[in-house]
Structure 1
Amino acid sequence: MPESLIEVAAKDVANRLAFTLTRQRPVGIPRHGVTRVVMLSLKEYERLKRRGREAIRTEDLDDETLDAIRKAQPGKRSREAGRRLADPSAG
């Protein structure tokens, strides 16, 4: 579970709703020991929606998409950043 996530048991969410709503961090709600739902602020939700991205599991990707990811090459900026990380003195 990500460090910034607060975990609240599903049965406690209703009892602790006011507490949950005042949290500044996302709140994970586990069921049977596995976090299944994450509550976050409307502001954070809207920020994520604006990014237009969707989080999915690699197991849910089709073979064509997985193959494209495997064959992807880093862009120029990524290669330069990689070189700087490998040798900070190279500037």
Structure 2
Amino acid sequence: MTEPMLKIPAAEAQRHFGLYQDKALTQPVAVTRNGRARVVMISIEEYERLKRRDRQVVRTEDAPQDVVDAILAARPPEEAQAFDHEAG
């Protein structure tokens, strides 16, 4: 999706739903209420692409031991020391 987001009032979306459903195949369509975006229509392909990018959260108790060991052994790079003063 390369085109900018199209913004339309909810009443317009309701009147011409099929039109905006088709437009959502090529660009996001924000449906507004009182001038504020409330929801966005996107193609199923774009939705699935975004879902694939979701991070999966795993509790440490459920993580494989080699992953836990790697996390425990990890050390920040030298250049990260420049931010040590920000620690609370």
Give the TM-score, by structure 1 length.
0.52
Written as runs of structure 1 = structure 2, the 5 A alignment for 1:1-91 is 4-23=4-23, 24-53=26-55
Structure 2 unaligned regions, length at least 5: 56-75, 80-88
Say which one has the larger Rg.
2
SS of the residue corresponding to residue 7 of structure 1 reads strand
d(CA) in 1 for partners of 2:15, 2:31 = 13
CA drift at 1:49: 0.2
Q: Aligned pairs, how many?
A: 54
d(CA) in 2 for partners of 1:47, 1:40 = 11
- Runs of 4+ more than 6 Å apart: none
Give the TM-score, by structure 2 length.
0.54
SS of the residue corresponding to residue 36 of structure 1 reads strand
Percent of aligned pairs sharing the same letter:
39
CA drift at 1:10: 0.3
- Between 1 and 2, higher relative CO (CA 8 Å, sep ≥ 6) is seen in 2
Q: Please tell me the root mean square deviation across aligned C-alpha atoms, in Å.
A: 2.4
Structure 1 unaligned regions, length at least 5: 54-72, 77-91
